[in-house]
Each structure stands twice: as C-alpha cells, then as structure tokens.
Structure 1
Amino acid sequence: MASAHPPAPVLCGLGTWLPPHVVTNDDLSRELDTSDEWIRSRTGIGRRHVADPGTATSDLAVEAGRRALKSAGLDAADTVVVATTTPDRPCPATAPLVASELGLGTVPAFDVGAVCTGFLYALATAAGFLAAGSAGTVLVIGADTYSSILDPADRSTRAIFGDGAGAVVLRAGDPDEPGALGRVELGSDGRGCDLITVPSGGSRDPIRAETADRADPFFRMEGKKVFRNAVERMAESSQTAAERLGWGVGDVDLLVAHQANIRIMHAVADRLCLPRSRCHVHLDRVGNTAAASIPLALADAAATGRLQPGDRIVTTAFGGGLTWGAAALRWPDVSPA
C-alpha cells in the first residue's frame, strides 16, 4: 500500500568550504578607522575568510558540494539548488555551472535569491522537489563571496561579512527518522526592501555610462532597523517551527541561527527563553557568511561535539527582501566533510 504521506526531506550529507585567506580585525584596523575591540564588542566577530582575486562563488560552491556528496556517500544528486546573493554573473544562474563542475551532467540546477535567508528558502524548494517525486536526492548549497560587493571604505560592512560555502544533501525519506526536516517556515515583507540592498546594477537602477558616476554598486544595510526586525521574525519563526514538530521551545537542544551578529543571536535566544549557551556561535571565526551561514554553523557544531545524533535543533535566518525563516529537525548521524 502506498504511503499516506509524501516523502520527507532527510538531511544525509554535509560539506563546507572556506577560502584559505583569513582577514583578522587587526588587519582591518590597518586599513580602516576601527579596532579589534570595536568590532568584537558590536558584532562578536574576530576574523573572516576572504576569497582571493579570481575566485568566484561557484568555486566555493563546487568544493562544498563535492564534500557534501562525499559525506552522504554519493557520487551524484538529482537536482542542484544554489542559494546566493553573489552569483558569478547576473546572467546566467551559477547553479548549472556548479552542477557541471561536479560532474552531474544535465540535472536541473538553479539559483535561489533570498539573501541571508537563501539557504532556508533553498531547503524548502528542495523539499518540494522530493515531495513531488521530481527528485530522490537534492544538493542544496549556500555560497557567497560578499567581499565582491562590499564598499572598501565602509567599516561597518567590511567588519561583518566573510566569504564561504556550505552544502547539504537531502534525500527522500520517512518523516519520523533522524534528519527529517519539519515544514520550513518562511516569510517576507517587501516594505523593507531598502534596509538591506545593493542599490545599483539591477533594472531599477542600471549602471550606464551616463549615470555611472551616481551609481552605488555596493552592499548597504541599515543596521539598527535590521536588528529589530531580525530578532522579532527569527524568534517567531523558530517557535512556530518547533511547535509544528510538537516541541516546546525548552525542548530545543541547540539553536543554530544565522550568524549575523552575536547581539542578534543572543536576543533571539532571550526572546525564546532559551539559555544563551544553547545558541551555537561560529561567527567569531568566520563572520557573517550570508547564505552559507547556517550550513557552516551546523558543520562546526557537529565537528566540535555541540551536536549529537538525536539532538533537537532549530535553524533560523533573516535577510534582505526582507525575508526570514526557520526549520527544525532531529540531528542525524552525519559527519561533515
């Protein structure tokens, strides 16, 4: 007899990649009016990885994807979804190149753009492919090279963002097994589209020869307004994701939040009445890696023993759009590669 429920998306592989070049707060202080104390006190960040010239988002994504497939014990996946704000080019999407470089042939491959919430939007998209029977395995990659869109003179953004990629493999499975994702809770509010943005370079404000001197091709963010929105939306969606699996918030063993800012992460934990000790922190070593943030933090938590098989976890993120989301699962017996 056929199952009464569609297949559940089950996490079965995890891989990450960080460019080897590290930029410390002291390195930044030699270029900008800032200091290690100023950056750490406001963000919790001590260093970040930055891609070398000539290294593109696809390069990071390919390496993370290859490692995720290895972690899952697979040579291939049926579909590739890449979440990124910094594609190799405005056109075409980066995912088809990533799939090709991984030797996956002509599988469906496409990008998802939801800024720092992109990985969760990509997870939800992958879950739909699995539930519909359109794929049996999906490679989901979050990858960004924010160094390519940061204003070299803006100490606030240069202090926060780093480059990196993280990937997971999802397979069709049973909703009661470890690694099965609950419903991914997503939301957006376009009224805040100007709070996190790259103003120029799109169809709203194309960069043309006659307007190039007025163009602003760099990433901009209104930090104070983003902070308030992020805390509220991440806490609400996290609580909903936990409750859909029948958990109370106190049942959550680890909160793996988007690694944006230590103050935001702690404020979300406080609003959920979770001890801050249950909020995993990885940004001190990598900064805000945007769409790569959650898989990188998951891998770090697993590698350092913070995550054990069977642990109840909630992941949550907030990003430009405005967009936000959360997902909950019991951690499977997966070793990051």
Structure 2
Amino acid sequence: MTRRAVIAGTGSALPARRVSNAELAETVDTSDEWIVERTGIRFRHIAGPDETTGTLAADAARAALADAGIPADDIDLIVLATATPDQTFPSTATKVQAALGIGDCVAFDVAAVCSGFLYAVQVADSMIVSGAANRALVIGAETFSRILDWEDRGTCVLFGDGAGAIILEAREGDAGILATRLHADGRHNDMLYVDGGPSTTGTVGKLRMKGREVFRHAVVNLANVMSEALEAAGLTADDVNWVVPHQANARILDATARKLNLSPEKVVVTVDRHANTSAASVPLALDVAIRDGRIKRGDLLVLEAMGGGFTWGASVIRY
C-alpha cells in the first residue's frame, strides 16, 4: 500500500469584526456597486487590536484538531503559511506551537504569499510520505489589513483577515494528496509586492498591485497548473468533484473555470464573504465547504492559488 498524507480534519477562524462594502465606503472613495461588479466581494473580516495572525492561526488549529479528534500532542510538524507574521522572527508557527501546548515538534513558517498554503501542503506531504512526520498541522493565516494602504481604493477593498488549517495524517490507501505542482517567477515582482522590509527600508511597508496584469497572469497560470497537477495524478478535469481556489476575485474564478471547461457549480466560492485572505483563503474555503456538507469523503478536490512573486500551484487531493 502507498503511504499518503490524508486530510484528517479542518478548521478556520475569522476576526470578530465583519466590514461590509457600505461601511468601507464611509471612509474610502468607493461603493458597494463598484466593488461587487469588479470583484464579487461584499464583506471582509478585519482583525482587532488583540487579534493577530498567530491568534487566528491558533484558533483555526484548535478547530482542526477537534474535527480530527486528536490531541495537540500528536502533532509532530507545524507548517504555517503567511506573509504577515506576528514578528520578523521567531516564526509564527512556534507561537502556535506554544499556544497549543505542544512541547516539542518541528515548526516553521513558509512565505509564498497567496500560494503559501499550497507550498506548505507540499512541504508537509513530502515529510509525511518520507516518514519524517506522521501528523502535520498545516495553516494559512493572514492579517493583511495591517499592510494595506487604506487610501488606495484599488487594493484596500480587496483583502481581509483570517486563518484556515488542516490536519494531515499518514495513512495507507487511495485517499490523500495525489499530486502537487508548484511554480514561481520572480521577474514579476513589481506587479504585486509590499514596498518595505527589514533589510531594505526597515519598515513593514504597504501592499502595491497592478491589478490588470495580475488578473491576466492568474487566469493562464492557474488553468495550466491545475491541468499539470491533474495529469501528474493520472486524472482529468472530468474526474474533479470540487475546485477549491484562492479567493482573489470572482472574475478570476469564473475565467479559470471556463478555461478548463469546468462547471461553475463545482467551484467553491467564499470571496463574497471573506474577500482575499491570501494564504488563508484556500483552507478557509475548504473548511466552509466541508462543514456545510458540499465536500464529502471520497470526493476529488483540486486546490489552487497564485500570489505575489509570482508564485502559483495546485494540489489534487482525494478527500
């Protein structure tokens, strides 16, 4: 039998404060109609003073552990994907480890922006398949509200805060992660980036984006990498039950589905209620669709994302 990394549980967490487009329009030169027409976003959650990437990640992790029915001490690997860590160092993963009361494990962060969760899944999968780990906590968590320019209506309306987590467990059989494909192209740095950093400006910086260029690259790259991952798994788009995409923009989701001849009914969409939560968006959407009963055991899933860098990737999973 083949040793695979199987999803044993999922969880998510959102800040208490939910902000509508109408509320945002009170302080930003925008409108509900403008935002919905261009992005499909209606709400986003914004972290309060006592809510951080680490606290949201820990809450999502607790929910995933409860869903899997395993104690925190059974986790021997934590991989946390984020572009908005609590501190420059140590890793936010170690803060989650401490919050969960785990005495010893491997714990580190992965930085690949919106694709970070897919990168983290690949790392955890590789370690589980090799025998270096048996149970992994994989988290995507962000507080993008901390790095937004709230006077730039072209970007600040797009993002929100949140966290999602999965438990990956070593099992033998046909279920689990079947194939993952990842890519990066650093030549496109100036299309989506933050204009600060410890070794350049000594500041956190603010998010900057060229929206049209990002949209064009996203549709092509995401369709290609999904096809690539499915081919690696020996499957086709016809075999897919659900696509769980990065929730960046409703128009990107629609265009990508059309490019693969996938029915829109097979695409999990949460961008309307969460906006773009970067590395958290895929595990957030996954948790929503599992908990509301759409995704069932045995379903074939494709998870995909693209973010700054550019980085992009897709994972084919038998749930």
Alpha-carbon distance in 1 for matches of 2:291, 2:69: 18
- Deviation of the 1:85 alpha carbon: 0.4
In structure 2, C-alpha distance between the alignment counterparts of 1:228 and 1:239, rounded to whole Å: 18
Q: How far apart are 1:175 and its partner, in Å? A: 4.6
Between Structure 1 and Structure 2, the one with more strand by share is 2
- Partner Cα separation in structure 1 for residue 263 and residue 154 of structure 2: 28
Q: Counterparts of 2:76 and 2:97 in 1: how far apart (Å)? A: 10
Q: In the aligned structure 1, how far is the partner of 2:168 from the partner of 2:239?
A: 24
What residue number does 2:277 align with?
Answer: 289
Question: Displacement, 1:272?
Answer: 0.4
Question: Which residue matches 2:129?
Answer: 131
Q: For residue 150 of structure 2, what is the aligned residue in structure 1?
A: 152
Give the one of 198, 204, 223 matched to 1:235.
223
Deviation larger for 237-246 or 287-296: 237-246
**Considering only CA atoms, is the larger Rg found in Structure 1 or Structure 2?**
1
- Alignment of 1:199 onto 2:195: yes
Q: State yes or no: 1:259 paired with 2:247.
A: yes
2:305 is the alignment partner of 1:317? yes
- What does residue 211 of structure 1 align with? none
Q: Which residue does the alignment assign to 2:141?
A: 143
Q: Distance in 2 between matches of 1:219 and 1:99?
A: 29
Contact map agreement 2:182 2:311 (CA 8 A) in 1: yes
Q: Give 2:58's aligned amino acid.
A: V
What residue in structure 2 maps to residue 327 of structure 1? 315
Aligned to 1:24: 20
Which amino acid letter does the alignment assign opposite residue 186 of structure 1?
L
Which structure 1 residue ranges, 4+ long, deviate > 3 Å from structure 2?
204-207
Cα distance in 2 between the residues matched to 1:171 and 1:159: 37
Matched with 2:60 is 64
How do residues 45-56 of structure 1 correspond to structure 2 at under 5 angstroms? 45-56=41-52
Structure 2, unaligned runs of 5 or more: none
- Cα distance, 1:225 vs structure 2: 0.7
Q: How does 1:24-43 map to 2 (within 5 A)?
A: 24-43=20-39
Q: C-alpha separation between the residues in 2 aligned to 1:197 and 1:278?
A: 31
Task: Please report the TM-score for the alignment, with normalisation by the length of structure 2.
Answer: 0.96
User: Partner amino acid for 1:321?
Assistant: G
Could you say what secondary structure the match of 1:64 adopts? helix
The SS at the match of 2:195 is coil
* CA deviations over 1:186-237 (Å, ceiling 9, x no partner): 0000101121111112323434xxxxxxxx8111111111111111111111
CA contact (8 A) 1:301 1:307 kept: yes
Mark the runs of 5 or more structure 1 residues left unpaired by the alignment: 208-215, 332-337
Distance in 1 separating the partners of 2:291 and 2:264:
20
Q: Tell me if structure 2 keeps the 8 A contact 1:100–1:106.
A: no
CA contact (8 A) 1:51 1:163 kept: yes
| Partner amino acid, structure 2, of 1:228 | R
SS in structure 1 of the partner of residue 182 of structure 2 = strand
Q: Counterparts of 1:71 and 1:303 in 2: how far apart (Å)?
A: 10
Equivalent of 1:186, from 177, 182, 199? Answer: 182
1:278 equivalenced with 2:266 (yes/no): yes
